[in-house]
Structure 1
Amino acid sequence: MNSPDNWLIRDATLVNEGRRWAADLRVRDGRIERIESGLAARADEQVIDASGLWLLPGMIDDQVHFREPGLTHKADIASESRACAAGGITSFMEMPNTRPAALDRPTLEAKYALAAGSSAVNYAFYMGASNDNLDAIRQIDPASTPGLKVFMGASTGNMLVDDPQVLDEIFRCAPVPIITHCEDTPMIDAELARAKARHGDDIPASEHPLIRSREACIASTRLAIELARKHDARLHVLHISTAEELVLFAPGPLAGKRITAETCVHFLHFSAEDYARLGMLIKCNPAIKQASDRSAIVRALAEGRLDVLATDHAPHLLEEKQQPYTQAPSGIPLVQFALQSALERVFAGELSLERLVEVVSHAPAELFQVSQRGFLREGYAADLVLVDPQRPHRVSHAQVLSKCGWTPFDGTTFSTSIAATFVNGRRVWDGVRVDDTVRGQRLAFDR
């Protein structure tokens, strides 16, 4: 069963498009039918008293790694989408570096088929770029994928694009937004060799931001921007991690920008000081850097220099993360507690609630031209999250729905709880459990 339910959400505080106000919201046939105060309940609808709760459009996470196909011992679409639901994420866009990598249309469509049968939330999948799939890139149907993922100097399987002529052609011909991971591999390799000379096989986690250095990020991001300007390409740079990169992007509203950037929730929460406590658990690429970088990133998010906030959710098993530095994989499981983590910046007075909603919901919908999602608007899909700002939530590993079974937020108390999540009018999360009968829909793009 995947039919929508009919709901009347009463007396909520709606947060949408720069406004915050009290109203009722009616959900019918999977859509937002009416937003108005004083709506009378109908006989066939379920009523939720949302007084004291924030009603937000569901988060659209444009950067996740769900590991299916090929790496399902550590995650799969079913497990990770359930974690999304519990965290208020109603749509995700998943990266192509699975096994096999999504470097052509048939492999991409096979991932959509997997999600149709198992995803608890809405879904889309990126096409990947390599040194040898230019023909497939030229033939991309813009309706089939949110964008083209390019690993510019960060090797992952056969997806490192390090041929300058191929890279130039990708920026010239890509028919969809180009989404880049920007780190310079030769610079990283040189720093890794120096770390091995100093530490042998016992490289501490605190060396990670020195090995995956800020210089490696800056050089690669500059190159991506140069290529985008040369070809007037639509470029979106992922997971900005340094203060220096921020000056490369223009502040202000998203509308009209050809070059945009995002950061991730872990760069707002952790800093290099946390390696002593968490070690390889927070090893990720690009690396979590200094507290000064974190402060600069939050300010850039507030002023519109950074346009989107995502997760880069990338789960690994605990035993994998407990290996020595050179064997421990990079990546952190984040989707289940991402929105709560980001809301801490609101309680700290560093971001307004309205701006947070913009960067986690409105901006990804606008940037990727997602059809009729990401806003509280009549006629739009009823992808909603109810947040309780008065019920703190202490996180533990035992609560984790991701297959990996752990979280870097273990022991953290967040100021909010996710009271409910709705996907296409179905309540997929009721504050306690996931409704496993709910299935999301394939995202559509207005292109």
Structure 2
Amino acid sequence: MKSICIENLDVVFGQHPEKALTLLDLGKTRQEIIDETGLVVGVNNVSIDVNEGEICVLMGLSGSGKSSLLRAVNGLNTITRGSLKIKNDDTNVDLATCSETELRDLRIQRISMVFQKFALMPWLSVVDNVAFGLEMQGVTKTERRQCAQEKLDMVGLGEWANKLPHELSGGMQQRVGLARAFAMDSDILLMDEPFSALDPLIRSQLQDELLDLQKKLNKTIIFVSHDLDEALKLGSRIAIMESGKLIQYSKPEDIILNPETQYVKDFVAHTNPLNVLCGRSLMNSAHDLKLEGNLVQICEREDIWLEKTVDSWDVYGKHGYDVVEWSPETDHKIFNTNTIVITTPDIAMRDAIDIRYQTEHPIVLVEDNRVVGTLNDHDFYHALLGKYNDITDEPERDINLCKTNKKVKAA
């Protein structure tokens, strides 16, 4: 269900913005409009939807319009044209036409914001900083302090509740900002480059913590970043912007595999694909595997064959093999050169490469009790070089087959 619906949104900074709108409709560029009118187009005809529980990352270089769009979502930037609707219980409130009262209620009840510079009040204790928004809502001191303490415990700062902000490190102060936003229990969380001022290790840790918290709280998050690796790690979908325009809005994997313009292609050219791609994107499809009767050949070099029986998978080959069905919880220490690993096509590339390194055999990808592909060195090299296999919608060959004795089963 849509939590935020943005349609044909324009944001123009300066007096008499209608002059800029006229020039936009004539196809003038942002720079041409600045030269002719002195007006700055912050957002140019952007349309995106953000679903409930989704992390939408607004991505782009400085001046791309990502922060201008974010600040329109809570009314900090005035909407010049178009609509921006926020789901509020059973209705949608359009920030382009809503009253000051409706906007204030949305800010208090529905939308919270985490700033890049922490924005903590230095004279208040950590717990009172977290509880400040609740105080503005009229919550009693006992209740708001209890809620604030719970949120501090959630972000790992429970023991720092009575400290002042300057006694905390930068990463800890950013956690306080997160706790304050979560204390408001808002459904929508706006985050304007919240981790950009932190060193890389703390930044990565906070990204992980945000993802863990999101699994528990299921907020709708709009996250502004200029770091593509961060965007790919956090985003359910990524909106890449340039000069106020939306260039592409897609899932992280699609951004990497199917850049829609040369700008996006250049943007993602140097990203690490291991952080994004999964087995499904890179696998050697079952269409390309050799079948012999009821068997599928998963490794031509070592002549290893596989078939599905009623209760398990059987391996046939020159040597004895153990079949392990892998999940993220599987201990990799059990793998060796006698192991054939079976898993889902959604396996992350980092896990797949680790498994391949330890077993020295292709990884078998299975879905709905069918082999849909394999992963081997060739596929990993293509991933690292950016030469991705095409994703097709063709049905996989069904190799959910009964047992056969055409090959000698591995001992």
Q: TM-score, normalising length from structure 2?
A: 0.29
Larger strand share, 1 or 2: 2
- Which entry has the higher C-alpha Rg, 1 or 2? 2
Q: TM-score, normalising length from structure 1?
A: 0.27
Report 1 or 2 for greater relative contact order, CA contacts < 8 Å, sequence distance ≥ 6.
1
